[in-house]
Every structure is written in C-alpha cells, then in structure tokens.
Amino acid sequence: MHTDCIKCFLEQANKLHHKYNLPDYLARDILVRFRLFIDDHKDITSPEASCLMHRLIRKATRVNDLYKKEKKDYNELLLSLENEIRDIIKQSDDPFQTALRYALAGNIIDFGPPKQFDVFKALSEAANKIPTIDHTLELRRALKKASTVLYLGDNAGEIVMDKLFIETIGHSNLYFAVRGSNIINDVTIEDAEKTGITKIAKVISNGYDAPSTILNRCSPEFIRVYEKADVIISKGQGNIEGLINVTGKNIFFLLMVKCNVIAEMIEVHEKNVVVLNNQKIQHPVNTIANSKKYSLIDYTF
C-alpha cells in the first residue's frame, strides 16, 4: 500500500479518536493493531485497510455509524438544492452532459481524504467544468445499447446528484449499488431510501463494508447483477481502486481526483474530474489494489 495512504488513514483515525473522545490507551491500541496488520500484509488494498481501521474504531467506540451526522447533513443539504439543479439540467442545451457534470461535482463530498472541501464552489462550477479525461460520448453510446446498467454509488449527499443523473439517463433497467454496511460517509440502503433514489432505480447492496467495490468480497446477489450488466458506471476514488484493472466488463469511472495517489494512477492532476472508460486503459495499471482476500477477524477487539 502506498505510504501516502497510510498517512491518510492515520489522520482519519486521529480525527475520529478526538471526535469520540477515545481514551489514549484505546486510540494507541487501534493504531498499533492497524500498523501491525498492514506491515504484515504490505500488498493489502487501500479500501481493505480502510475497512479494517473503521471496524476497529466502531468496535472501540460502540458507534455503528461514525459519520451519521455528516451523512444526514449532506443528504439534507443536497436535497434542498435538488429542484433548483434539476431545473438547470432540464433547461440546458445538453441535459445528459449537464447532469453528468453535476454528478461529478457531487463526488467532492468525501470525509475519507483529510483535505477540506467546498461543495457550493464545486456545484457552482459544475456545468462548466470539462472532464480532463472525457469519454462521455462512449458512455452515451453504451447506455443506448445496454439492456442492464449497474451504477455504483459512492457518498452520501453525492447520491442526490447521482439521482438527477439517473433520471436524465432514463434507463428502464438500472441498478444502483450501495455499501453493505456503514463505512466513512459512503451510501447505504438508508441513504438511498432517504434521498428517494429507490423510486427511480433498483437499489441493491454490494454486501461488504469497504469504501469500494471489491468483487471477491461482494454478495452473490450483487455479483449476479454485476455479471449481467452491459454498462457499469463507477463513482468515486474508492470504486476505481477496486475495479481499475478489471478488463472483462465495460466500466466508466466517474470521479473527482482528490489525492496524489489516484492522480498518479490515472495520470491526471488533483482536483480534475474524469469520465474514464476502462476499455481505453492499457492494462494493467500500476495500482495499490489487488485481488487477495484477507481475514480481518483476528485484528478486531
């Protein structure tokens, strides 16, 4: 795993330790357990490492949803803007492209990276922010031919912008995938219900509590949908970490680049947005992801 990812996880852990007033001995124990595991498993994926760290903190704090308030706040904030942005999309010259750009802007809402973000600035710039890598035309063509579409969700709040994009896509057989359990501010079934995305898409869980889509961890139900999907829309950095080297499916990665690790992986600068079709990638990509399946049981309390 990239050393910058380790630093990022330790910063996240320290913030959560302070947020929940963990005793020093418990905070130290979590950091020791975490470092021992990743030192013993140097090729662990970043999403799996995040999964481990958050399991340890949830166990120590006895809090099942560490970012419950943040998720609620940003769902409500974006829902308050939903109708205004829907009108902007409908009145634009190209509603598909405009909705896509708002969906990309929504990806800024992420409590994983330690950097601050400004959702209002991102939304105000959304319509005119051109993706650095832009395979939008290929996405349009693929969606027109697709019998089944699988849309991989990412963060709370952002899900409202996903909803507007899905409305604009207008596909009759589109599945929206959420995480199997609470992890950072990633979307769950509860977020899908609260934001109304269950009314316009078939919502399924991927069955696992990592901030990514890790295929050898996902539920059989998810894998059945994944295998029959003709087009997969993958939102965010976490999902691209898990799927960047998949070659057997037609995947479009939609994300805002929020760290140098991902920037280096796909060879763009931080803060850029991209619409990247995996069919145009020369595989394999040099990445922190891998396909091993680790047992995390012995590293919980």
Helices (H), the chain: 3-19, 24-40, 46-61, 68-91, 95-106, 119-125, 136-145, 158-169, 189-195, 220-228, 236-243, 260-266
What are the pLDDT tens digits along the chain (301 aa)? 788 888 899 999 999 999 999 999 999 999 999 999 998 988 888 999 999 999 999 999 999 999 999 999 999 999 999 999 999 999 999 999 999 999 999 999 999 877 789 999 999 999 899 999 999 999 999 999 999 999 999 999 999 999 999 999 999 999 999 999 999 999 999 999 999 999 999 999 999 999 999 999 999 999 999 999 999 999 999 999 999 999 999 999 999 999 999 999 999 999 999 999 999 987 777 655 444 554 544 444 3
Domain residue limits, the chain = 3-63, 68-280
Give dist(CA 213, CA 169) in Å, integer: 22
Enter the tokens of residue 169: 């896509």
Q: What is the pLDDT of residue 29?
A: 94
Please report the pLDDT score of residue 293 as a whole number: 52
- Give CB contacts under 8 A, 24+ apart, made by 213-217: 213/152, 213/177, 213/238, 213/239, 213/242, 213/243, 214/45, 214/47, 214/48, 214/242, 215/242, 215/243, 215/246, 215/291, 216/291, 216/293, 217/293
Tell me, what's the pLDDT at 297?
42
**Residue 103 to residue 281: CA distance in whole angstroms:** 22
Q: Following CA atoms 70, 67, 276, 9 in sequence, which dihedral angle do they give, to the nearest 10 degrees?
A: 130
Compute the residue count for the chain.
301
Amino acid at 286: N
Other CB atoms within 10 A of residue 64 CB: 9
Residue 81: both structure tokens together:
């803007």
Would you identify the CATH topology of the domain 68-280?
A: Rossmann fold (3.40.50)
3-state helix, strand, coil in the chain (%, to 5): 55, 10, 35
Residue 209's pLDDT is 95
> Given this model, what pLDDT does residue 224 score?
98
Angstrom distance (rounded) from CA 174 to CA 59: 35
Q: Is the pTM of this model over 0.75?
A: yes
- Residue 112: the pLDDT is 84
d(C-alpha 13, C-alpha 5), whole Å: 12
Strand partners, 273: 256
**Per-residue model confidence (pLDDT) at position 290:** 47
